[in-house]
Amino acid sequence: MTTEPIRSGNGAGAATRGIVAVTGATGKQGGATARRLLAGGRPVRALVRDRTSPAAVALAKAGAELAVADFDDPSSLVPALAGATALFAVPPVVYGPSGSDTERETARGRALADAAAGAGVGQVVFTGVASTSGKAFAVPEKRRVEQYLRERVPQVTVLRPVRFMTNFLGLPGIGFDGIADGVHRHLFPPDEPLQIIALEDIAEFAALAFEQPERFAGRTLELAGDDPTPVEAVAAISAATGIPVRYEQLTHDEAFALNPQFAEVRQDWEDGHRWYADIEVLRVVHPGLRTLRDWLAETGAAALRARLLGDA
């Protein structure tokens, strides 16, 4: 984290501060944040492409207002943000035939920033990707959007989370992560700590920023909640689910065959570049910060057991 500890307030008066527009509300971070804000009494407007999708319908039932908007149609963004005082921004990643389409992702982020400024939104919480000293996680498109937002919106807080705990449930289309045939395969060394975070805790930090905008504005928070080694993580998963799981690290050649960018990430890690969220300081800010075992006890073990038994 780049600043001194900030202690949580009680959130009093949060609901009087106006509507928070949430992008990515039918996805992971946006969905968790929308639910957390609604539970705290803050009005939420979920920006969606399809009002009839199951996730959008569930948000509406939970109390969210729905607004149709499309990042690739900038003219739809300003009316969707009209009247909102704050914005949770998750510009969607774009993939093309050769991998990430960074230029299109940057364009989407800038369009959202322009729309927020045009609609008079005074506060933005932007969520990106955790930092390392290596090149593989440089994510220049997200850094460009961060800077662009800061130039156009008065109060901007940047969240940079590490790998999600829900990734143990699997990520479509990348060829690893998740658990298949009792094996969790990934890029990282088996016996070195690896920072992870629960989606619900990203939402908690976002809620704190919205509740205390004057204290979080201008800050960048590197977010993590736990740092088990991959071997320790699968042992915890095995104990919580009752299903044996082991860890296996992809070789450089295996990672390269899936995508050269994956091989670059693996090599950066081999060269000693790491995420560096200060978990002890974050726990002062948010004492309920979840460990992997906490997440497994709350929802993770049940979800993993259903996934693993369903795949059997």
HEC per residue, 74-101: HHHHHHHHCCCCEEEECCCCCEECCEEC
| More confidently predicted of 243 and 90 | 243
HSE of 7, CA atoms in CB hemisphere, 13 A: 2
Tell me: pLDDT of 131 over 50.
yes
Farthest CA pair distance, the chain = 55
In sequence order, what are the residues at sequence separation of 6 or more whose Cβ sits closer than 8 angstroms to the Cβ of residue 71?
23, 77, 91, 92, 108, 111, 112
Tell me: pLDDT of 210 over 50.
yes
Of 172-176, 238-242, 290-294, the poorest mean pLDDT is in 172-176
* Short-list 169, 188, 162, 184, CA closest to 265: 188
Contacts 24+ apart (CB under 8 A), 12-17: 14/40, 14/41, 14/42, 14/207, 14/210, 14/211, 15/40, 15/41, 15/42, 15/43, 17/42, 17/85, 17/86, 17/210, 17/213
Amino acid 138: pLDDT? 59
Characterize the bridge pairing of strands 155-161 and 220-223: parallel
User: Are 124 and 155 contacting, i.e. CB atoms less than 8 angstroms apart?
Assistant: yes
| More confidently predicted of 203 and 133 | 203
Confidence of residue 12 (pLDDT cuts 50, 70, 90): very low
Tell me: pLDDT of 9 over 60.
no
219-243 mean pLDDT: 97
176-192 mean pLDDT: 94
Amino acid 14: pLDDT? 39
Burial 104-123 (b: 16+ CB within 10 A, else e): bbbbbbbbbbbbbbebebbb
Amino acid 310: pLDDT? 80
Amino acid 11: pLDDT? 39
SS3 category, 228 = coil
The full set of domains in the chain, from first to last, is: 14-231+260-311 (3.40.50.720)
Confidence of residue 116 (pLDDT cuts 50, 70, 90): very high
42-52 mean pLDDT: 95
User: Are 217 and 233 contacting, i.e. CB atoms less than 8 angstroms apart?
Assistant: no
Question: Residues 239-282: pLDDT tens digits?
Answer: 999 999 999 999 999 999 998 888 988 998 999 888 999 999 99
Residues forming a β-bridge with 196: 163, 226
Q: Share the mean pLDDT of the chain.
A: 89
Which string of DSSP letters, residue by residue, matches 202-216? HHHHHHHHHHSHHHH
Q: Name residue, tokens 């593989």.
A: 136
Amino acid 13: pLDDT? 41
DSSP symbol at 134: S
45-50 mean pLDDT: 95
Tell me: pLDDT of 96 over 70.
no
Amino acid 92: pLDDT? 67
Tell me: pLDDT of 32 over 90.
yes
- φ and ψ at residue 199, rounded to 5 degrees: -55, -35
